[in-house]
Amino acid sequence: MGDPMPDNIQPMLATTGDLPDDVARWALEIKWDGVRALVYVADGRVRAVGRRGIDATSRYPELQALADLLPDQSAVIDGEVVAFDSEGRPSFERLQQRMHVNRPDARLIRQVPVHYVAFDLPYLSGHELYDLPYRDRRALLDELELSAGPIEAPPYLDGAEVEQVRELREYTREQGLEGLIAKRLDSPYRPGRRVDFWLKVKNFRTQEVVVGGWKAGKGRREGGVGSLLLGVYDGGDLRFVGHVGTGFTDVELDDLHKQLTFLERPDSPYVGRVPREHARFANWVDPSLTGEVEFSRWTRDGRLLHASWRGLRPEIPPEEVRRES
Protein backbone atom coordinates (compact mmCIF):
# COMPACT_ATOMS: atom_id res chain seq x y z
CA MET A 1 0.00 0.00 0.00
CA GLY A 2 2.86 2.38 0.85
CA ASP A 3 2.82 5.78 2.51
CA PRO A 4 -0.01 8.15 1.63
CA MET A 5 1.04 11.30 -0.18
CA PRO A 6 1.44 14.14 2.36
CA ASP A 7 -0.43 17.36 1.58
CA ASN A 8 1.33 19.98 3.69
CA ILE A 9 5.09 19.49 4.00
CA GLN A 10 6.99 22.46 5.41
CA PRO A 11 10.35 22.98 3.68
CA MET A 12 13.56 22.28 5.56
CA LEU A 13 15.62 25.46 6.04
CA ALA A 14 19.36 26.12 6.01
CA THR A 15 21.55 27.91 8.57
CA THR A 16 23.99 30.63 7.55
CA GLY A 17 27.62 29.53 7.82
CA ASP A 18 30.97 29.05 6.09
CA LEU A 19 32.18 26.18 3.96
CA PRO A 20 32.75 23.28 6.39
CA ASP A 21 36.26 21.97 7.04
CA ASP A 22 35.13 18.44 6.15
CA VAL A 23 33.70 19.65 2.81
CA ALA A 24 34.32 16.21 1.23
CA ARG A 25 31.25 15.00 3.19
CA TRP A 26 29.06 17.69 1.65
CA ALA A 27 27.30 18.53 -1.61
CA LEU A 28 27.45 22.05 -3.07
CA GLU A 29 24.69 23.80 -5.02
CA ILE A 30 24.27 27.36 -6.28
CA LYS A 31 22.02 29.49 -4.07
CA TRP A 32 19.29 30.30 -6.56
CA ASP A 33 17.88 33.54 -5.09
CA GLY A 34 14.27 32.77 -5.96
CA VAL A 35 11.10 31.75 -4.13
CA ARG A 36 10.95 28.40 -2.35
CA ALA A 37 8.11 26.11 -3.47
CA LEU A 38 7.11 22.55 -2.70
CA VAL A 39 5.34 21.09 -5.71
CA TYR A 40 2.84 18.21 -5.39
CA VAL A 41 2.34 16.13 -8.54
CA ALA A 42 -0.30 13.40 -8.80
CA ASP A 43 -2.87 12.14 -11.32
CA GLY A 44 -1.94 14.74 -13.92
CA ARG A 45 -2.39 17.64 -11.48
CA VAL A 46 0.19 20.03 -10.05
CA ARG A 47 -0.06 22.08 -6.85
CA ALA A 48 2.65 24.50 -5.69
CA VAL A 49 2.84 25.70 -2.08
CA GLY A 50 5.15 28.36 -0.63
CA ARG A 51 6.79 28.60 2.78
CA ARG A 52 3.74 30.21 4.37
CA GLY A 53 1.50 27.40 3.17
CA ILE A 54 -0.08 29.67 0.55
CA ASP A 55 -1.12 28.02 -2.70
CA ALA A 56 1.03 29.50 -5.47
CA THR A 57 -0.13 27.25 -8.32
CA SER A 58 -1.90 29.97 -10.29
CA ARG A 59 1.11 32.31 -10.06
CA TYR A 60 3.43 29.99 -11.93
CA PRO A 61 1.60 28.07 -14.69
CA GLU A 62 5.02 26.96 -16.01
CA LEU A 63 5.04 24.35 -13.22
CA GLN A 64 2.25 22.44 -14.95
CA ALA A 65 5.01 20.95 -17.11
CA LEU A 66 5.77 18.62 -14.19
CA ALA A 67 2.51 16.74 -14.86
CA ASP A 68 3.76 15.85 -18.33
CA LEU A 69 7.17 14.84 -17.02
CA LEU A 70 5.67 12.57 -14.33
CA PRO A 71 2.57 11.05 -16.00
CA ASP A 72 2.59 7.80 -14.01
CA GLN A 73 4.08 8.87 -10.69
CA SER A 74 3.16 10.90 -7.64
CA ALA A 75 5.80 13.08 -6.04
CA VAL A 76 6.51 15.99 -3.73
CA ILE A 77 9.42 18.01 -5.08
CA ASP A 78 11.32 20.70 -3.19
CA GLY A 79 12.85 23.51 -5.20
CA GLU A 80 13.01 27.16 -6.10
CA VAL A 81 11.05 29.28 -8.57
CA VAL A 82 13.64 31.42 -10.35
CA ALA A 83 13.65 34.17 -12.98
CA PHE A 84 16.85 34.65 -14.98
CA ASP A 85 18.25 37.87 -16.40
CA SER A 86 19.55 38.34 -19.96
CA GLU A 87 22.92 36.91 -18.89
CA GLY A 88 21.37 33.74 -17.49
CA ARG A 89 21.84 34.73 -13.84
CA PRO A 90 19.12 34.34 -11.19
CA SER A 91 17.42 37.71 -10.71
CA PHE A 92 15.24 38.28 -7.68
CA GLU A 93 14.48 41.73 -9.06
CA ARG A 94 12.92 40.20 -12.20
CA LEU A 95 11.07 37.57 -10.18
CA GLN A 96 9.28 40.27 -8.20
CA GLN A 97 7.34 41.13 -11.36
CA ARG A 98 5.76 37.67 -11.15
CA MET A 99 5.64 36.72 -7.49
CA HIS A 100 2.72 39.03 -6.59
CA VAL A 101 0.55 38.24 -9.64
CA ASN A 102 -1.95 35.46 -8.99
CA ARG A 103 -2.94 34.82 -12.59
CA PRO A 104 -0.33 36.25 -14.97
CA ASP A 105 -1.46 36.87 -18.52
CA ALA A 106 0.35 35.47 -21.56
CA ARG A 107 2.20 38.74 -22.13
CA LEU A 108 3.73 38.79 -18.63
CA ILE A 109 4.65 35.10 -18.88
CA ARG A 110 6.50 35.83 -22.12
CA GLN A 111 8.24 38.88 -20.71
CA VAL A 112 9.24 37.30 -17.40
CA PRO A 113 9.32 33.51 -17.74
CA VAL A 114 10.19 31.52 -14.65
CA HIS A 115 11.96 28.21 -14.17
CA TYR A 116 11.56 25.67 -11.42
CA VAL A 117 14.90 24.43 -10.09
CA ALA A 118 14.29 21.10 -8.31
CA PHE A 119 16.80 20.04 -5.66
CA ASP A 120 15.13 17.57 -3.29
CA LEU A 121 12.51 14.84 -3.19
CA PRO A 122 10.72 14.29 0.15
CA TYR A 123 8.15 11.84 -1.33
CA LEU A 124 7.91 9.57 -4.36
CA SER A 125 5.14 7.17 -5.40
CA GLY A 126 4.07 5.73 -2.07
CA HIS A 127 7.32 6.31 -0.18
CA GLU A 128 8.20 9.05 2.31
CA LEU A 129 11.91 9.74 1.84
CA TYR A 130 12.57 11.88 4.92
CA ASP A 131 15.08 9.47 6.49
CA LEU A 132 16.86 8.63 3.26
CA PRO A 133 20.28 10.35 2.99
CA TYR A 134 20.45 13.40 0.76
CA ARG A 135 22.69 11.66 -1.79
CA ASP A 136 20.04 8.91 -2.22
CA ARG A 137 17.13 11.36 -2.49
CA ARG A 138 19.08 13.25 -5.16
CA ALA A 139 19.80 10.01 -7.03
CA LEU A 140 16.06 9.30 -7.16
CA LEU A 141 15.39 12.89 -8.26
CA ASP A 142 17.96 12.56 -11.05
CA GLU A 143 16.33 9.33 -12.25
CA LEU A 144 13.09 11.26 -12.85
CA GLU A 145 14.88 13.19 -15.64
CA LEU A 146 13.04 16.43 -14.95
CA SER A 147 15.27 18.81 -16.92
CA ALA A 148 12.96 19.89 -19.74
CA GLY A 149 11.42 23.23 -20.71
CA PRO A 150 10.96 25.42 -17.64
CA ILE A 151 11.90 22.58 -15.24
CA GLU A 152 15.51 22.08 -14.19
CA ALA A 153 17.27 19.68 -11.82
CA PRO A 154 20.96 20.66 -12.03
CA PRO A 155 23.39 18.21 -10.42
CA TYR A 156 25.18 19.04 -7.21
CA LEU A 157 28.97 19.23 -6.92
CA ASP A 158 30.53 16.61 -4.67
CA GLY A 159 32.64 18.37 -2.04
CA ALA A 160 35.41 15.81 -2.54
CA GLU A 161 36.21 17.62 -5.82
CA VAL A 162 38.22 20.24 -3.95
CA GLU A 163 39.49 22.16 -6.98
CA GLN A 164 36.02 22.30 -8.54
CA VAL A 165 34.58 23.57 -5.24
CA ARG A 166 37.10 26.43 -5.31
CA GLU A 167 36.24 27.19 -8.94
CA LEU A 168 32.49 27.14 -8.25
CA ARG A 169 32.87 29.51 -5.30
CA GLU A 170 34.97 31.87 -7.42
CA TYR A 171 32.45 31.67 -10.28
CA THR A 172 29.56 32.72 -8.02
CA ARG A 173 31.59 35.70 -6.81
CA GLU A 174 32.56 36.78 -10.32
CA GLN A 175 28.95 36.53 -11.50
CA GLY A 176 27.58 38.46 -8.54
CA LEU A 177 25.57 35.46 -7.33
CA GLU A 178 24.43 35.22 -3.73
CA GLY A 179 26.55 32.17 -2.93
CA LEU A 180 26.29 28.43 -2.37
CA ILE A 181 24.21 25.97 -0.39
CA ALA A 182 26.21 23.19 1.28
CA LYS A 183 24.27 20.04 2.16
CA ARG A 184 25.72 17.13 4.07
CA LEU A 185 25.55 14.05 1.86
CA ASP A 186 24.17 11.86 4.66
CA SER A 187 21.57 14.38 5.83
CA PRO A 188 17.89 13.43 6.27
CA TYR A 189 14.98 15.71 5.34
CA ARG A 190 13.42 17.33 8.40
CA PRO A 191 10.27 19.26 7.36
CA GLY A 192 9.87 22.70 8.90
CA ARG A 193 13.20 22.68 10.73
CA ARG A 194 16.18 25.00 10.31
CA VAL A 195 19.15 22.65 10.41
CA ASP A 196 22.93 22.91 10.54
CA PHE A 197 23.49 20.15 8.00
CA TRP A 198 22.30 22.56 5.28
CA LEU A 199 24.39 25.74 5.17
CA LYS A 200 23.95 29.03 3.29
CA VAL A 201 27.47 30.11 2.28
CA LYS A 202 26.99 33.71 1.16
CA ASN A 203 29.14 35.94 -1.03
CA PHE A 204 27.52 39.06 0.40
CA ARG A 205 25.49 39.69 3.52
CA THR A 206 21.72 39.64 3.38
CA GLN A 207 19.16 39.64 6.14
CA GLU A 208 15.45 38.90 6.21
CA VAL A 209 13.60 41.70 8.00
CA VAL A 210 10.12 42.56 9.25
CA VAL A 211 8.71 46.01 8.46
CA GLY A 212 7.39 47.63 11.64
CA GLY A 213 7.06 51.21 10.45
CA TRP A 214 7.93 53.76 7.81
CA LYS A 215 8.84 57.41 7.46
CA ALA A 216 7.56 59.78 4.81
CA GLY A 217 9.83 60.83 1.99
CA LYS A 218 11.09 64.26 1.06
CA GLY A 219 11.75 65.90 -2.26
CA ARG A 220 11.00 63.46 -5.08
CA ARG A 221 9.53 61.01 -2.58
CA GLU A 222 7.29 63.52 -0.83
CA GLY A 223 3.84 62.06 -0.15
CA GLY A 224 5.16 58.51 -0.19
CA VAL A 225 7.58 56.19 1.57
CA GLY A 226 11.04 57.56 2.30
CA SER A 227 12.42 54.75 4.43
CA LEU A 228 11.32 51.59 6.22
CA LEU A 229 11.89 50.74 9.89
CA LEU A 230 13.09 47.18 10.27
CA GLY A 231 13.05 44.46 12.90
CA VAL A 232 13.89 40.81 13.54
CA TYR A 233 12.41 38.47 16.10
CA ASP A 234 14.31 37.51 19.24
CA GLY A 235 12.23 34.72 20.72
CA GLY A 236 8.71 36.14 20.57
CA ASP A 237 9.84 39.78 20.68
CA LEU A 238 10.27 42.01 17.63
CA ARG A 239 13.48 44.01 18.04
CA PHE A 240 14.35 47.15 16.09
CA VAL A 241 17.48 46.68 13.93
CA GLY A 242 17.61 49.84 11.82
CA HIS A 243 16.18 51.38 8.70
CA VAL A 244 16.57 51.25 4.93
CA GLY A 245 16.06 54.09 2.46
CA THR A 246 17.88 52.92 -0.67
CA GLY A 247 17.48 50.17 -3.24
CA PHE A 248 13.83 50.85 -4.08
CA THR A 249 12.30 51.29 -7.50
CA ASP A 250 9.49 53.80 -7.93
CA VAL A 251 7.06 50.93 -8.53
CA GLU A 252 8.13 49.27 -5.27
CA LEU A 253 7.69 52.51 -3.31
CA ASP A 254 4.17 52.98 -4.67
CA ASP A 255 3.25 49.37 -3.86
CA LEU A 256 4.73 49.59 -0.36
CA HIS A 257 2.83 52.80 0.36
CA LYS A 258 -0.47 51.15 -0.57
CA GLN A 259 0.21 48.10 1.58
CA LEU A 260 1.54 50.00 4.59
CA THR A 261 -1.45 52.36 4.65
CA PHE A 262 -3.73 49.40 5.39
CA LEU A 263 -1.45 48.14 8.19
CA GLU A 264 -1.15 51.34 10.24
CA ARG A 265 -1.43 51.17 14.03
CA PRO A 266 -1.10 53.84 16.75
CA ASP A 267 1.91 52.42 18.60
CA SER A 268 5.27 50.83 17.92
CA PRO A 269 5.29 47.03 17.38
CA TYR A 270 8.86 46.78 18.70
CA VAL A 271 9.79 45.55 22.15
CA GLY A 272 12.19 48.04 23.68
CA ARG A 273 13.06 51.61 22.78
CA VAL A 274 13.38 52.77 19.20
CA PRO A 275 15.98 55.59 18.92
CA ARG A 276 14.38 59.03 18.80
CA GLU A 277 15.74 59.89 15.35
CA HIS A 278 13.84 56.90 13.93
CA ALA A 279 10.74 57.02 16.16
CA ARG A 280 10.13 60.72 15.51
CA PHE A 281 7.45 61.16 12.82
CA ALA A 282 7.30 57.38 12.30
CA ASN A 283 4.18 55.72 10.95
CA TRP A 284 3.83 52.42 12.81
CA VAL A 285 2.36 49.33 11.16
CA ASP A 286 1.39 45.81 12.10
CA PRO A 287 4.48 43.66 11.52
CA SER A 288 3.11 41.46 8.74
CA LEU A 289 5.37 42.40 5.79
CA THR A 290 8.64 40.49 5.36
CA GLY A 291 11.46 41.74 3.16
CA GLU A 292 15.17 41.33 2.60
CA VAL A 293 18.08 43.76 2.68
CA GLU A 294 21.74 43.63 1.71
CA PHE A 295 24.07 45.29 4.23
CA SER A 296 27.74 45.72 5.12
CA ARG A 297 27.81 44.55 8.75
CA TRP A 298 26.10 44.54 12.13
CA THR A 299 27.03 47.37 14.49
CA ARG A 300 27.88 46.78 18.16
CA ASP A 301 24.42 47.92 19.21
CA GLY A 302 22.71 45.45 16.86
CA ARG A 303 21.92 47.70 13.90
CA LEU A 304 22.19 46.98 10.19
CA LEU A 305 24.84 49.20 8.63
CA HIS A 306 24.46 50.51 5.04
CA ALA A 307 21.31 48.50 4.35
CA SER A 308 19.89 48.41 0.81
CA TRP A 309 16.45 47.06 -0.02
CA ARG A 310 16.29 43.84 -2.09
CA GLY A 311 12.53 43.34 -2.07
CA LEU A 312 9.52 41.91 -0.28
CA ARG A 313 9.63 38.22 0.66
CA PRO A 314 5.93 37.40 1.10
CA GLU A 315 6.66 33.66 1.21
CA ILE A 316 8.54 34.05 4.52
CA PRO A 317 6.38 34.25 7.68
CA PRO A 318 7.41 37.25 9.80
CA GLU A 319 7.69 35.14 12.96
CA GLU A 320 10.42 33.06 11.30
CA VAL A 321 12.70 36.08 10.77
CA ARG A 322 15.76 35.84 13.01
CA ARG A 323 19.11 37.60 12.98
CA GLU A 324 21.52 35.59 10.85
CA SER A 325 25.01 35.00 12.18
Beta strands 237-244 and 304-305: pairing type? unpaired
Residues ≥6 apart with Cβ < 8 Å to 70: 41, 144, 146
Q: How far apart are CA 325 and CA 323, in angstroms?
A: 6
Q: How far apart are CA 249 and CA 90, in angstroms?
A: 19
Helix (H, G, I), strand (E, B) or coil at 152: strand
Q: How far apart are CA 133 and CA 184, in angstroms?
A: 9
218 is a catalytic site residue: no
The conformational region for residue 162 under phi > 0 = left, psi -120 to 50 = alpha, else beta, is: alpha
Average pLDDT per consecutive 10 residues, the chain (325 residues; last block may be shorter): 85 92 94 94 93 89 95 95 91 88 94 96 96 97 92 93 91 89 97 94 91 86 86 94 92 91 95 92 95 91 92 91 86
Task: Please name each of the domains of the chain with its CATH number.
Answer: 13-202 (3.30.470.30), 206-320 (2.40.50.140)
Given 31, 183, 202, 215, the catalytic residue: 31
Query: Residue 210: its pLDDT value, please?
Result: 97
Tell me the three-class secondary structure of 279-317, residue by residue.
HCCCEEEEEEEEEEEECCEECCCCCEECCEEEEECCCCC
pTM of the model: 0.82
